[in-house]
Amino acid sequence: MSTLSRLFTAINKRYKALDEDIDVSDYIQPHALNIKVEHEPFNHIVIDNFFKEDFLEELTRYYQTIFSKGLVDDHTEKERFHLFEKKINYDGYVFSPEVTQEEPLKLFFSVAWNQFFSDMFNKPTTFGTSFALHHHPIGDKAGWVHHDYATYTFPYKLVLPNGVTGTRGEAGKVTLTPTEEKTKNVQQKRTIALIFYFNNPEWKEGDGGETGLYTSKSEDSLVKKVAPVNNRLLAFDVSPQSFHAFQENNTDRNSFVQWFHVDLEWAENKYGFL
């Protein structure tokens, strides 16, 4: 993407963000607006006391409402927390909500939220996003060391009025032209990742469930553990070097995860054809 193209993309995002009438500062604490990116072992930020209390409470109630429906083993069950597919090699349960412009999830499917992290890491992003709630019951095994630099396919039919493209459901369905129908699935690369910890017991040393940050695929290259403290956000720049892994937990761990994406061409020009 040329410099001019990125400029037009940024302008368009900000314009749509203004149309949304969403101000990120209404949701997050003032100190979170001026956080500095840490660079080792890769670009990331850790922000404690991230969301304002009233929004955190609303988000927690939403999580508990979904969780109260129970856990199922069938990964094809989409209306409750279900086990990850075995091929993912990851313990725990996941729930992916419908794309929505209703509270409390409205923020996460907004252009303003996308733009906030795009600016933070100085990276272009598309309107494509993936969002899910995670639950790890006691004793989940440590995850494999990986980097999240993966390709995701977005269906055009999930475009919201603000231009954001989601990952499931029929919200904001649009009518496709014959040409669009042929090319309705768009592949993009993950470029920024978020993990937000909430609805957890008060964390203490030995509880586990941290997110480990590594310098390579080797488990011996662990340099930092980010504990799942309530109302803590971990965000990082996704690249072929952003190695991380879930650490075995001795108490329940709950979170939401989200990814922003970028065009394949931009990612391949920056990181190569991986």
The per-residue pLDDT string of the chain (274 residues; one tens digit each, 9 = 90 and over) reads 566 776 777 777 787 887 888 999 999 999 999 899 999 999 999 999 999 999 999 999 999 999 999 999 987 888 999 998 776 667 899 999 988 889 999 999 999 999 999 999 999 898 889 999 999 999 988 888 999 999 888 765 556 777 777 655 443 344 444 444 444 677 899 999 999 999 999 999 999 999 999 999 999 999 999 999 999 999 999 999 999 999 999 999 999 999 999 988 888 888 875 5
Task: Enumerate the H helices of the chain as residue ranges.
Answer: 3-20, 53-67, 111-121, 178-182, 264-271
Confidence (pLDDT) at 128:
87
What distance in Å separates the CA atoms of residue 214 and residue 224, rounded to the nearest whole number?
A: 7
Confidence (pLDDT) at 168:
53
Confidence (pLDDT) at 178:
46
Confidence (pLDDT) at 127:
87
Using an 8 Å Cβ cutoff, are 224 and 129 in contact?
A: no
- At residue 186, φ and ψ (nearest 5 deg) are -115, 130
231 sits in the region (left: phi over 0; alpha: psi -120 to 50; else beta) called: left
Residue 200: name the closest of 114, 136, 121, 274 by CA. 136
Burial of 13 (0-12, 13-18, 19+ CB in 10 A): buried
Number of H helices, E strands in the chain: 5, 12
Confidence (pLDDT) at 181:
46
Confidence (pLDDT) at 264:
87
Element (H, E) at 183: none
Confidence (pLDDT) at 272:
75
What distance in Å separates the CA atoms of residue 46 and residue 43, rounded to the nearest whole number?
A: 11
Tokens of 93: 């349960």
Q: What is the pTM of this model?
A: 0.90
Tokens of 159: 């475009």
What is the pairing mode between strands 129-136 and 222-226? unpaired
**What's the DSSP call for residue 200?**
-
Element (H, E) at 196: strand 185-197
Other Cβ atoms closer than 10 A to 27: 24
